[in-house]
Amino acid sequence: MALLSPLPLCLTGCNNYSPILSHIVDVIKNNFNKNPNEIKLGDANDYNEALTNFKSLLNQQQREDEIIYSQFNFIGQKGIKVNSKQILPNNESIIDWYEQGKCNLYFPDNYVIEVNEFNNANDFFTYRFQGWLTIQFTADFNQDNISIKKGDFLQFVFNIRANFYAQASIDSNGFTNLTYLTSKPNSNSMEIVYGFIEWTINGQAMGTLSIANLDEINYSKHIVNCGYYQIRGN
């Protein structure tokens, strides 16, 4: 599949109300404000058992949701900033504005998401993802040093054709985590990027930003399947 064109206006193959877009919004909305300290996932005799149980929890759908959450949770961030530029007021998120009709969200119908099974020897699974999410603002806004014109947009484009890696782990306190890598764990090659960001503010193009690390666009401090395992003896 060829990379979808990063157009601010969706002309074909995208939908503001599609089932997958609704699912993306729900995944972010339902998980963004979770507190891992309040979510006990179970008991385990040791670290290895906890990690095994965590990987069992990550079935096909859960792995896909983790990828979606890691790439698009920025829409749940209040007062989101991109490249140090504040886009929205401190008390509002893109999801808030979407639900208020102040912006539209577009996601392609012909996206690609392929998530493989765990490599148990190294505790990672591989995945591919091609698609984009476009936020287009539907009204002018000028307040609190934030200026948006109707038609301004923010677009995150992902073109992950090669297999990228998500490595599962349990920290010393029993908390779950996933680390995203562009190359196999322990490899020295880390030159591939995930995608890029196109955006306009106040009618002005702001340039193209590369996404070299998912941490750069990850506004959440946890994953979807966050929580902890009580390690017996700890």
Whether 9 shows a pLDDT value over 60: the answer reads no
3-state secondary structure of 233: coil
Within-domain flag for 9 = no
Q: Domain range spanning residue 181?
A: 15-28+36-231
Whether 12 shows a pLDDT value over 90: the answer reads no
Strands (E), the chain: 14-15, 40-44, 81-82, 85-86, 103-108, 112-119, 124-137, 141-143, 146-148, 153-170, 176-181, 195-201, 204-211, 228-231
- pLDDT given for residue 30 in this prediction: 97
Within-domain flag for 5 = no
Within-domain flag for 6 = no
Whether 8 shows a pLDDT value over 80: the answer reads no
How many domains are contained in the chain?
A: 1
Within-domain flag for 3 = no
Within-domain flag for 202 = yes
Within-domain flag for 66 = yes
Within-domain flag for 2 = no
- pLDDT given for residue 163 in this prediction: 86
Q: Band of the pLDDT at 11, cuts 50, 70, 90? A: very low
Within-domain flag for 115 = yes
For 13-42, what is the mean pLDDT? 89
For 147-174, what is the mean pLDDT? 93
3-state secondary structure of 146: strand
Whether 6 shows a pLDDT value over 70: the answer reads no
